[in-house]
Structures are given as C-alpha cells and as structure tokens.
Amino acid sequence: MTGVGALWFDGAFWFETGELTRKGRNLARDPRCTLSVATHEFDLVIEGVAEKVIDPTMVATMAEQWSTQGWPARVDDSGVALTADYSAPSAGPPPWTIFRLAARQATSVLTVEPGGATHWKFDPT
C-alpha cells in the first residue's frame, strides 16, 4: 500500500502514478488493486481493476478536476499524462499516468456507534 491522490469523479475513483514507480510497475504486471479511504465515520476498501487512461480528452478532464481540488495538475506535452510543479513523493517524477479504478467490490466498516459493516459487489460490465 502507498498513499495516492485519489479523486472521486463520474462514478469512479481516479488516481495517478509514475510508470516507473513500484505501483506503476505492479499495475503494468497485474491491474488488480485496492484503494482504501479512512474518514471519521467509516473506513472503506474498494477492490477492482485499474484501467490506464490514455484518451487525451479524459486526461485533460482529470487534470482540470485535480486542479479544481487544489492540485495544479496539467496535461504534459504527450497529451496523455500529467505534470505539475509538485506531487506526492510516492508518485515519482512526472509524467504521471492516470488510472480509473473499476470497482468489483467494496467493504465499509463504521468507526462510530452503532458500528457495523457493509459489503457490496458490482457488476463488472
């Protein structure tokens, strides 16, 4: 596990990483992955497949989404990856490739009373 700058957009979680990072190399070898989110009220784990995003229009859309959330990402010269003046050290140096997490299942555990857990399975189509 490593920290990522994930973003919820258009019904999916999106994240980015350098292709030469351990995460990038692992995803190239096997796109199955998990994403974990902790909030005050619940912990959430999403399991699925990371789909590499290379559509220039979607890359530009996601750069704009990250920018509006406070990370000044922009499309690099290739048109299919991101660059910025800074990112998390775990992302490695730019360019950063975008991935969309296609969820297969998720589990949520409440961290406040009354407690409890919920599990979802999603249709992969």
Domain ranges of the chain: 8-121
The CATH topology of domain 8-121 is Pnp Oxidase; Chain A (2.30.110)
Q: How far apart are CA 105 and CA 1, in angstroms?
A: 18
Of 59, 99, 105, 100, residue with least CA distance to 82: 59
Express each pLDDT in 55-93 by its tens digit: 999 999 999 999 999 999 999 999 999 999 998 888 889
| Contact in structure between 101 and 31 (CB atoms under 8 Å) | no
Express each pLDDT in 22-55 by its tens digit: 999 999 999 999 999 999 999 999 999 999 999 9
Q: How far apart are CA 5 and CA 72, in angstroms?
A: 12
CA dihedral sign, ordered 22, 24, 29, 35: positive
The reported pTM is: 0.91
Residues in the chain: 125
Q: How far apart are CA 38 and CA 31, in angstroms?
A: 23
